Amino acid sequence: MYAPERQQEILRLAREGGRVDVLSLAEEFQVTAETVRRDLKALDRAGLVRRVHGGAIPVGRLDFEPDLAEREGTSTDEKDRIAKAALTELPSEGTMILDAGTTVARLAAALPLEAELTVVTHSLPIAARLADHPGMQLHLVGGRVRHRTRAAVDAWALRAYGEIRADVLFVAANGFSTEHGLTTPDLAEAAVKRAAVAAARRVVLLADSAKHGQEHFARFGDLSDVDLLITDSGLSDDDAAAIERGGTEVVRA
| Tens-digit pLDDT profile for residues 218-243 | 999 999 999 999 999 989 999 999 99
Residue 45 contacts residue 38 (beta carbons within 8 Å)? no
Q: What is the pLDDT of residue 67?
A: 60
Q: What is the pLDDT of residue 217?
A: 86
**Which residue type sits at 246?**
G
Separation of first and last alpha carbons in the chain: 42
Q: What is the pLDDT of residue 129?
A: 94
Q: Pseudo-torsion of CA 12, 17, 21, 22, nearest 10°?
A: -20
Check residue 134 and report its DSSP letter.
T
Q: How much of the chain exceeds pLDDT 90, in percent?
A: 72
Provide the pLDDT confidence category of residue 148 given band limits of 50, 70 and 90.
confident
Quote the distance between the C-alpha of residue 169 and its chain's center: 14
Provide the pLDDT confidence category of residue 17 given band limits of 50, 70 and 90.
confident
Nearest to 126 by CA among 151, 161, 144, 146: 151
Helices 3-17 and 22-29 cross at an angle (nearest 10°) of 130
Residue 193 contacts residue 218 (beta carbons within 8 Å)? no
Above 60 in pLDDT, residue 159? yes
CA distance 153 to 151: 6
Structural domains of the chain in order of their starting residue, each with its CATH number: 3-61 (1.10.10.10), 71-252 (3.40.50.1360)
- Mean pLDDT computed over 176-186: 92
pLDDT digits (tens, 9 = 90+) for 56-113: 888 765 565 566 555 555 667 899 999 999 999 999 889 999 999 999 999 999 999 9
